[in-house]
């Protein structure tokens, strides 16, 4: 896309980042709608809109069109992630929540494991006079549309509505979840959430972690290709390796966290592994194999996600968690704009990835340290 349209890293970084302007602004409304309206409808409508707008991104020709497409896509996607995090808390007990979240988030690395080589193959094709990257947007959008329709008919908002469970099973799940709710199970407003030290601490940790990992995800293929000189297809295949490692790390980390009942160290340790990977990349190794190994260490850092996102749902009530999760992801997603843009700007300005990688190293370290300070099964939100 950058080659065909002549986009610099700065333009591409801004295109990546502008997505988060609308994405951030609708995080809280999206999460609250899941809680107060319908998870089934919200998740379904979000997926269908998200897939349709992704496909339409294939029509982009200018930077302004790219910015507009990304802005609208951010608005469409905003309610999905916080909505699913809240939705899982409607169904899974505390002792199973990290595993459940790991299974959900396993889609992230698996999509790269499958998608990277497929994307590399599609990028090398020109069908009906259209470049491969345009077809990539179209084909990426189709599964979201299909699964949005499936979600509408398949998902059940609450255990009490699940006709596929026996009455005594529905009652047991509802009662057990109710017993696990914090003692101070009153709803809070957005302004009260913004004044909560615990919620702001979690949001700060997410901000720094997202800053590092969003930037890595968007620039990792470019960095690998520029060092190796490999074809798009080969870069796609090799680029799947860090995400395969991430998939395994997510499953193991979520399982062990639930088994031990510990959350903070299970969140921070993967991030510290990524810090070590970033430090290795700062040394600018010449070997492609060594570089790929360091990229894999950075990729494994995202194994913090499933465990970390169980924390707010464990010490907050369901109504409070909806507002809090939306706020936390909104704050974190601001760095989704700032990170890729700053990384692209620094590379354009210096001609090297060193400065950008140094910033990502510092942010990842800050995020990991803050995760160790987060509350665990607290009883209040202040």
For residue range 7-50, list pLDDT tens digits in order.
877 787 778 778 877 887 777 777 777 777 888 888 898 899 98
pLDDT of residue 205: 92
Task: Tell me the C-alpha distance between 134 and 116, whole Å.
Answer: 16
User: Which value, to the nearest 10 degrees, does the dihedral of the CA atoms of residues 290, 293, 295, 297 take?
Assistant: -140
Q: C-alpha 31: how far from its chain's center? A: 15
Specify the 3-state DSSP secondary structure of 130. strand
pTM (predicted TM-score): 0.71
In this prediction, residue 194 carries a pLDDT of 62
Specify the DSSP class assigned to residue 157: S
The residue with tokens 């009530």 is 317
Domain covering 2-371, topology = Growth Hormone; Chain: A; (1.20.1250)
**At residue 364, does pLDDT exceed 80?**
yes
Q: Is the pLDDT of residue 380 over 50?
A: no
3-state secondary structure 234-265: HHHHHCCHHHHHHHHHHHHHHHHHHHHCCCHH
DSSP H or E run through 333: helix 318-350
- Token look-up 């040394």 returns 283
When pLDDT is cut at 50, 70 and 90, the band that residue 378 belongs to is: very low
Residue 379 pLDDT: 44
Average the pLDDT over 176-199 and give the result: 66
* Percentage with pLDDT > 90 across the chain: 19
What is the spatial distance between Cα 261 and Cα 173, in angstroms, rounded to a whole number?
Answer: 20
The first and second tokens of residue 303, run together, are 């194994």
Give the distance, in angstroms, between the CA of residue 318 and the centroid of all CA atoms in the same chain.
21
- At CA 123, angle to CA 122 and CA 124, rounded to 5? 90
Is 1 in contact with 7 (CB distance < 8 Å)? Answer: yes
Q: What is the token pair recorded at 25?
A: 């602004």
Say if residue 358's pLDDT is above 90.
yes
Across the chain, mean pLDDT equals: 83
pLDDT for 190 equals 56
Residues with Cβ within 8 Å of residue 164, at least 6 apart in sequence: 156
Most confidently modeled of 164-168, 177-181, 329-333?
164-168
Query: Distance between CA atoms of 329 and 206, rounded to whole angstroms?
Result: 7
Distance of CA 29 to the CA centre of its chain: 18
Half-sphere exposure of 268 (CA within 13 A, CB side): 16
Distance CA 144, CA 150 (A): 10
User: In this model, does residue 346 exceed pLDDT 80?
Assistant: yes
Q: Determine the pLDDT at residue 363.
A: 94
Quote the tokens at residue 342: 């700053």
**Rounded CA separation 300/287 (Å):** 20
**Lowest-pLDDT range of 27-41, 298-312, 336-350:** 27-41
Locate tokens 């709710």: which residue? 181
Instruction: Classify residue 159 by its DSSP letter.
Output: G
Residue 381 has pLDDT above 50, yes or no: no
Instruction: Reply yes or no on whether the pLDDT at 382 is more than 50.
Output: no
Q: Which residues neighbour 369 within 8 Å (Cβ) at sequence distance 6 or greater? A: 268
Helix, strand or coil, per DSSP, at residue 189 = coil
Give the mean pLDDT of 73-84.
Answer: 83
Predicted confidence (pLDDT) per residue in 115-125, tens digit: 777 877 887 77
Q: What is the pLDDT of residue 161?
A: 86
Q: Helix, strand or coil for residue 184?
A: coil
Tokens encoding 29: 């409304």
More confident residue, 160 or 378: 160
User: Could you give the CA distance from residue 47 to residue 123 in angstroms, rounded to a whole number?
Assistant: 24
Q: Measure the CA–CA gap between 114 and 122, rounded to whole angstroms.
A: 13
Distance CA(236)–CA(59), nearest Å, equals 23
How far is it, in rounded angstroms, from Cα 78 to Cα 222? Answer: 26
Give me the pLDDT at residue 191, please.
61
Task: Give residue 367's pLDDT.
Answer: 93
Band the pLDDT of 142: cuts 50, 70, 90.
very high
Three-class SS state of 317: coil
Per domain, the residue ranges of the chain are: 2-371
The answer to whether the Cα torsion of 357, 109, 22, 67 is positive or negative is positive
């Amino acid at each position: 896309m950058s080659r065909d349209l002549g986009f610099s890293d700065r333009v591409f970084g801004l295109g990546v980042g502008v997505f988060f302007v609308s994405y951030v602004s609708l995080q809280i409304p999206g999460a609250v709608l899941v809680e107060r309206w319908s998870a089934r409808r919200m998740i379904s409508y979000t997926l269908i809109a998200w897939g349709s707008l992704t496909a339409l991104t294939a029509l982009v020709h200018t930077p302004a069109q790219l910015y507009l497409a990304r802005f609208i896509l951010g608005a469409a996607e905003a309610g999905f992630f916080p909505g699913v995090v809240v939705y899982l808390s409607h169904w899974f007990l505390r002792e199973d929540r990290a595993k459940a979240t790991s299974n959900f988030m396993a889609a992230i690395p698996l999509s790269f494991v499958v998608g990277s080589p497929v994307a590399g193959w599609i990028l090398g094709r020109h069908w009906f006079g259209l470049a491969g990257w345009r077809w990539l947007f179209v084909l990426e959008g189709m599964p979201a549309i299909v699964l949005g329709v499936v979600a509408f008919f398949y998902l059940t908002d609450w255990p009490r509505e699940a006709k596929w469970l026996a009455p005594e099973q529905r009652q047991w799940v509802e009662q057990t979840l109710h017993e696990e709710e914090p003692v101070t199970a009153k709803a809070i407003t957005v302004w009260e959430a913004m004044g909560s030290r615990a919620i702001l601490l979690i949001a700060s940790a997410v901000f720094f972690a997202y800053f590092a990992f969003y930037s890595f995800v968007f620039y990792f293929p470019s960095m690998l290709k520029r060092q190796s000189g490999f074809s798009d297809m080969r870069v796609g295949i090799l680029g799947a390796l860090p995400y395969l490692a991430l998939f395994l790390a997510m499953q193991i980390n979520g399982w062990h966290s639930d088994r031990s009942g510990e959350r903070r160290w299970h969140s921070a340790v993967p991030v510290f592994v990524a810090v070590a990977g970033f430090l290795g990349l700062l040394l600018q190794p010449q070997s492609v194999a060594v570089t790929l190994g360091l990229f894999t260490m950075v990729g494994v850092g995202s194994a913090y996600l499933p465990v970390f996102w169980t924390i707010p749902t464990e010490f907050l009530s369901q109504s409070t968690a909806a507002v809090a999760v939306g706020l936390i992801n909104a704050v974190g997603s601001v760095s989704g704009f700032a990170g890729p843009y700053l990384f692209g700007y620094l590379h354009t300005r210096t001609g090297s990835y060193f400065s950008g990688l140094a910033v990502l190293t510092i942010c990842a370290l800050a995020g990991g340290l803050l995760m160790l300070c987060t509350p665990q099964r607290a009883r209040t939100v202040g």
